[in-house]
Chain A
Amino acid sequence: MHRELVDRAKQGDEEAFDDLARRVGDRCMGIAHRILRDAHLAEDAVQAALVVAWRELRTLRDPDLFEPWLHRILTNQCYAKARRRTRWSGDIRLLSIDGSAQEQGILTVNDRDQLERAFRRLTLEQRAVIVFHHYLDLPLPDVAARLGIPLGTAKSRLHHARAALRASLEADSRTTSNSQERLA
């Protein structure tokens, strides 16, 4: 898909790499933001990943594998960024005041809150697997290949991540149900 641009970039063509980066940057941001849950850190991670990709591009032997290769670099950058906790990088997310708008989608505000909390308790490695599987819709063997981990490890991480997220939703349902019972 990006073979020509990758080939040109491998020859040191900065314009080609810029074009390439703009084609894949948004998707990278999507991945990084979902793993890190912090827009600033995600931008940092994508930027660092793209610079590493440029520096290492000539080591990529198959240009058709550019995006999976970049995603692996990006994931490693996400791990590195997330493990830096020495500075404040609060990511304030504004929720709409209009409650009805929040309830229009499949997620309620409570769902979102519970999932957010549960997601942040996952390890970075579990987050990466669930993001690649659910957000990018990649089958598990592809997830494992992209992250450079054995398939069994990918399965295990996905299983634990899903279990944790489901548990958070079920706990919320129980709480809601109990509250309704008390009100009844």
Chain B
Amino acid sequence: MTARRPDELIDAFLEEGRDDLPDRVFDAVRGEIHRTRQRVVIGPWREPHMSNLAKVALAAAAVVAVLFGASRLLPPASGPGAIQPSPTPGQTATPTDTAAPSVAFISPGPLCEDLSMTGQLEPGTYSVSNAAWTQVPYTVEVPAGWTLVDGCGFGSTNSDVLVMTWNVSHVYPDACQWDDNDVVAAGTTAAQLTDLLRSQTGRIPSATTDVQVDGFAAKRTEFTVAPEMDTASCNGGPPGFLRFWPNAGPDFNSGFCCSPAGSTDDIRIADVNGQRVVVIIERLSAARPEDVAAAEAIVDSITFDTTAASPAPSRPASPALDGSAFGGTAADYAAGSLRLQMERILVMFQLLRSR
């Protein structure tokens, strides 16, 4: 057998792969930047004769001024979904670290209508009514530091913990050897879906307990992927992945999947006036306890709107599947946020000039 150096094999392995970005991505970027305003950079380095002390003083004054502007001079945004200034004004008023670009801030309001939407969530109350995610509209309180993941998931800072809801109509009997031609109807009650998930091959279920979500009866079970499980040997590959259920429809082309070995999905299935809502806290093995506690608080804050029925499912195509990706909403939010931040900066300079 010819001796081969591992590093050469690793080099050869890494040589393989895609090296061409499709034109549609360039086109999408072009469309996106047309709608996206560039960050306005205003910093003390534009004053060449300033002393260090003056620079520090100006930076401090800028922070104070922006805080002041945020709290007093700018009226609070009104109405759900209104774009609000960033809660961390230092990001805009101080010279920017080029290696740590800011993120789009999303203001409290309706979510889950645009899967391409992503960004930092401002703390507050968000509403979810898309029936692809929940059969019963609800509101939820999100704390500071959480992000919007895939348009309808709430992720901790490092995304080791995710909170989401799902409308489940079918499940795969085997989460590893899943097959779109082998799905089982998930019934209509919490107990039916719980039983099906408990019998699903691929994860280890905990005991199921009776709990409540917003005062409605629910079944709670933790499903853990065994740490030693080789998910790469599952279907969908190579390498494969676990897949628990498909979308509720009209097609089965997506769904809940890909939990890695060692992860746990803490699933509460609630019966809300005859409608079923699946609430998931997914945590990786390395998840921080404080993030898990915050996720619990998010779930505890869910308030169902039992007076309104969710509109028909309108889950848009996943950007990861159709390749077009990254719609304009997040950037529009960012652009709007930038506009308000610019207003703050103008106020700041007016204040500084007046001194």
Q: A residues touching B (Cβ–Cβ < 8 Å)?
A: 10, 12, 14, 17-18, 21-22, 25-30, 33-34, 37-44, 46-48, 50-61, 69, 72-73, 80-81, 83-90, 92-93, 105-107, 111-113, 115-117, 119-120, 130-131, 134-135, 148, 162, 165-166, 169-170, 173, 177
Is the Cβ of A14 less than 8 Å from the Cβ of B14?
no
Is the contact region of chain A dominated by helix, strand, or loop, or is it mixed? Answer: helix
Is the Cβ of A106 less than 8 Å from the Cβ of B12?
yes
The 3 nearest A-B residue pairs measured at CB: A83-B159, A25-B21, A59-B96
Provide the bound-state CA to CA distance between A27 and B19, in Å. Answer: 6
Interface check B312, CB cutoff 8 A: no
Provide the bound-state CA to CA distance between A30 and B29, in Å. Answer: 17
Provide the bound-state CA to CA distance between A90 and B8, in Å. Answer: 28
Instruction: Kindly list chain B residues whose C-beta atoms are within 8 Å of the C-beta of A106.
Output: 4, 8-9, 12
Is the Cβ of B18 less than 8 Å from the Cβ of A39?
yes
Interface check B68, CB cutoff 8 A: no
Given A30-B17, A44-B325, also A120-B232 (CB < 8 A): yes
Provide the bound-state CA to CA distance between A33 and B25, in Å. Answer: 14
Is the Cβ of B25 less than 8 Å from the Cβ of A25?
yes
Provide the bound-state CA to CA distance between A77 and B160, in Å. Answer: 15
Is the Cβ of B33 less than 8 Å from the Cβ of A17?
yes
Contact-residue size bin, chain B (C-beta under 8 Å from the other chain) = 35 or more
Provide the bound-state CA to CA distance between A61 and B21, in Å. Answer: 27
Given A29-B20, A148-B99, also A135-B15 (CB < 8 A): yes
Q: Which residue of A lies closest to B19 (CB)?
A: A30
Provide the bound-state CA to CA distance between A42 and B256, in Å. Answer: 20
Q: Which residue of A lies closest to B37 (CB)?
A: A55
Interface check B22, CB cutoff 8 A: yes
Q: A47 to nearest B CB, angstroms? A: 5
Interface check B30, CB cutoff 8 A: yes
Given A26-B19, A59-B101, A115-B10, also A90-B155 (CB < 8 A): no
Is the Cβ of A169 less than 8 Å from the Cβ of B6?
yes
Instruction: Kindly list chain B residues whose C-beta atoms are within 8 Å of the C-beta of A22.
Output: 26
Q: Chain A interface: which of B52-60, B134-142, B298-306, B313-321?
A: B313-321
Interface check B222, CB cutoff 8 A: no
| A22, A38, A51, A162, most chain B CB atoms within 10 A | A51
Q: B140 to nearest A CB, angstroms? A: 16
> How many contacting A-B pairs (Cβ < 8 A)?
214
Q: Which residue of A lies closest to B101 (CB)?
A: A56
Is the Cβ of A60 less than 8 Å from the Cβ of B10?
no
Q: Chain A interface: which of B78-86, B192-200, B234-242?
A: B234-242
Given A115-B13, A166-B6, also A47-B325 (CB < 8 A): yes
Q: A33 to nearest B CB, angstroms? A: 4
Residue in A40, A42, A85 whose CB lies within 8 Å of B258? A85
Provide the bound-state CA to CA distance between A87 and B102, in Å. Answer: 25
Given A106-B4, A169-B6, also A87-B30 (CB < 8 A): no
Q: Which residue of B lies closest to A147 (CB)?
A: B99
Q: Which residue of B lies closest to A90 (CB)?
A: B236
Is the Cβ of B21 less than 8 Å from the Cβ of A55?
no
Q: Which residue of A lies closest to B259 (CB)?
A: A85
Instruction: Kindly list chain A residues whose C-beta atoms are within 8 Å of the C-beta of B160.
Output: 83
Instruction: Kindly list chain A residues whose C-beta atoms are within 8 Å of the C-beta of B320.
Output: 38, 40-41, 44, 81, 87, 89
Is the Cβ of A69 less than 8 Å from the Cβ of B25?
no
Q: Which residue of B lies closest to A22 (CB)?
A: B26
Given A17-B33, A72-B99, A88-B254, also A111-B13 (CB < 8 A): yes
Q: A125 to nearest B CB, angstroms? A: 11
Is the Cβ of B257 less than 8 Å from the Cβ of A87?
yes
Is the Cβ of A107 less than 8 Å from the Cβ of B13?
yes
Instruction: Kindly list chain A residues whose C-beta atoms are within 8 Å of the C-beta of B21.
Output: 25-26, 28-29, 43, 46
Given A46-B21, A59-B41, A120-B239, also A107-B9 (CB < 8 A): yes
Given A34-B14, A105-B12, also A58-B41 (CB < 8 A): yes
Residue in A25, A40, A92, A134 whose CB lies within 8 Å of B10? A134
Instruction: Kindly list chain A residues whose C-beta atoms are within 8 Å of the C-beta of B331.
Output: 51, 55
Q: B302 to nearest A CB, angstroms? A: 18
Q: List 11 A-B contacts (CB under 8 A).
A: A26-B21, A30-B18, A40-B320, A41-B320, A42-B18, A53-B101, A55-B38, A86-B162, A87-B150, A90-B237, A165-B13
